[in-house]
Structure 1
């Protein structure tokens, strides 16, 4: 099965790189990734350098993966194109372990290759049960890989559902889960701190780095040069349709409450990704027991924050990730259902229509053009 899959991918990848839209080598994005820079503190600089080594090269005797296997250099995440190229190069490489295969059977990797999603195991809150199997306490879901660029220094919410408290606990959980490291091989507290410190040196631009270090303001929204880009900016900066949900330095914080009741200054939002389910992911039904002992059924392929809070009203809420460097961090949404910015706007057009916000094909094109500038 893997041999057939690899042959098909090789043919498709060769076709794509032979003039079907693949960027030329000198057109590849080159975000600014700072590592081991002089801080004036030799001990801290040494810690950052050690963190870079652990992040990039150390497997901790696990399944062969490093942190960089999934949080790749240049984008901080993993795209389907990167996964497919890695598969063509070595279908037995560290990225392709049974833990992230289809159904964890180790025989095929279509979800990883097509969507760049990995499996996550979520422990259900005490008051939440799966209708199809009420005794089951752990749920396996597939989610995309958030970028490690900008966010470690500037984003207080970690993971799509915010379930990790710190960068250190996130690194530890990833090593135990995705890298399948034996607990006896986990890095020390100092090692986890070094990984976190290294991650906090990764930025998409010099302006973002200066802002994070208190040496300058947050980058302003780009003005746009074409008429379409300038009209797209109006949706972000003037109408409030985009800007009310995408404010702050990373454009991922509510500046005002939205129509779905998400409070101002929240980093959790709803774009109806699970509700519209354009990816066609399997639907699940959850029974949530409320404090008054009533039961609320919730149907969703992935209810996001509800699996952390146990509150049915939080179903469908996910962390809003940074919009900075957006064109370089595909795929998008928690299920990687949008592979391009154009597909992002397919989702958001449905949101606008659902909320009764007038929009035209030109409006959608303008917003798309502007997102390429962020």
Structure 2
């Protein structure tokens, strides 16, 4: 860096080149899918190629778990659209979590993170939860921040990558730089080249089968109401980007439980009400994106629905009925969960459309893969 500045100054002597800023890390060049807006990025964490590559390494590094058994990628596998296929997440200590691991495709556009926490509104902040959380334990570094930092600083190659990504920092390997690098990589996980996208934006009229086209019409119909909670380019009603005015934080009750006839969810996980204390938030959770949904089973916040076919059955029934009274569904369920009837042929069409949201290129893109396997 100092040599470059000296050479630049010598070159400018006697010329009108003016003041030039010292070169910093190369800015990241977005490769946005057709129809996708540019993600909004925090002002204190601008995207750079060095940060993205460092974050990718950290994402796959098992040293980010205290016992060295798990990385972020252990619960977010690329081949599964960055989910893990489990009913409930499994932490590095073997603790089974109460919730299903969410996918990371297009997470750059989310307005909140995890299933039901309106306070986690940035990827940088969210990264602290798996690293240091105690209930449940994920990566296991609670109260051991210095041990994590010492472990990473001891690797000369990794320390050099931190210095490249954060040249302005006196100590590049810090908790802030770890979370910023991870967030930068996660923002690059853009998925928008499914058959649906090829049909809609690529002019490939045969990218969707006739069944998928019929399913698409059903999906966007007022009869089924699917697109109210799964809307827009990301099939998710909460999205933020450079052109957004402000973030919206919707949460929904899908009628998944009704234990007492008044809408109660299991005490082990009642949803948004845990944080807000408002009775109307009982059973409310964030709507997930439907991108790559055919690969992200099992479904719902607790992984209690095994297949997409069963998901359609759940919504067709207007939610689950109270255990003691099969005719009574939750009074707290969303107004969009009203129930509907599908013929066997229509159900097959809906499944064909949902499967057409799978972006196979995303699942194998080497830019998102383990750098040990794809340098």
TM range, normalised to the smaller chain?
0.5 to 0.7
Partner secondary structure for residue 318 of structure 2: helix
Tell me by how many angstroms 1:239 deviates.
3.0
Q: Is the 8 A contact 1:232 1:366 kept in 2?
A: yes
- Structure 2: any 5+ residue segments left out of the alignment? 1-25, 31-45, 150-173, 240-247, 321-328, 330-337, 358-375
Tell me by how many angstroms 1:146 deviates.
0.7
Q: Is the 8 A contact 1:76 1:148 kept in 2?
A: yes
Tell me what 1:71 maps to: 76
2:234 to 233, 250, 256: 250
Deviations for 1:142-183, whole angstroms, at most 9, x for unmatched residues? 1001111212x1111211003423212211111113011123
Tell me what 1:330 maps to: 297
Instruction: Kindly report which structure 2 residues correspond to 1:112-191, keeping only aligned pairs within 5 A, or say none.
Output: 119=97, 142-151=98-107, 153-162=108-117, 163-177=119-133, 178-181=138-141, 182-184=144-146, 185=148, 187-191=174-178
Partner secondary structure for residue 335 of structure 1: coil
Q: Is the 8 A contact 1:252 1:267 kept in 2?
A: no
Matches of 1:206 and 1:68, distance apart in 2: 22
Q: Is the 8 A contact 2:251 2:285 kept in 1?
A: yes
Q: Indicate yes or no: 2:192 matched with 1:205.
A: yes
- 1:53–1:82: structure 2 CA closer, same or farther, 3 Å change rule? farther
- 1:339–1:352: structure 2 CA closer, same or farther, 3 Å change rule? closer
1:300 to 257, 263, 266: 266
1:52 to 53, 56, 76: 56
Q: Is the 8 A contact 1:219 1:249 kept in 2?
A: no
Tell me by how many angstroms 1:192 deviates.
0.8
Q: TM-score under structure 2 normalisation?
A: 0.58
Tell me what 1:98 maps to: 94
Tell me what 2:29 maps to: 39
Matches of 1:168 and 1:207, distance apart in 2: 28
- 1:370–1:175: structure 2 CA closer, same or farther, 3 Å change rule? same
Tell me by how many angstroms 1:369 deviates.
2.1
Matches of 2:305 and 2:205, distance apart in 1: 23
Tell me by how many angstroms 1:342 deviates.
1.5
| Structure of greater Rg | 2
Matches of 1:332 and 1:223, distance apart in 2: 29
Matches of 1:220 and 1:323, distance apart in 2: 22
The alignment of Structure 1 onto Structure 2 pairs a total of residues equal to: 253
Q: Is the 8 A contact 2:257 2:263 kept in 1?
A: no
Partner secondary structure for residue 156 of structure 1: coil
Deviations for 1:320-360, whole angstroms, at most 9, x for unmatched residues? 11111211222221111223211222222222796253433
Tell me what 2:152 maps to: none
Instruction: Kindly report which structure 2 residues correspond to 1:282-321, keeping only aligned pairs within 5 A, or say none.
Output: 298-301=264-267, 302-321=269-288
- 1:66–1:269: structure 2 CA closer, same or farther, 3 Å change rule? same
- 1:343–1:313: structure 2 CA closer, same or farther, 3 Å change rule? same
Matches of 2:356 and 2:212, distance apart in 1: 8
Q: Return the structure number with greater relative CO, CA threshold 8 A, min gap 6.
A: 2
Q: Is the 8 A contact 2:211 2:349 kept in 1?
A: yes
Tell me by how many angstroms 1:367 deviates.
1.8
- 1:232–1:149: structure 2 CA closer, same or farther, 3 Å change rule? same
Q: Is the 8 A contact 1:222 1:373 kept in 2?
A: no
Tell me what 2:183 maps to: 196
Partner secondary structure for residue 227 of structure 2: coil
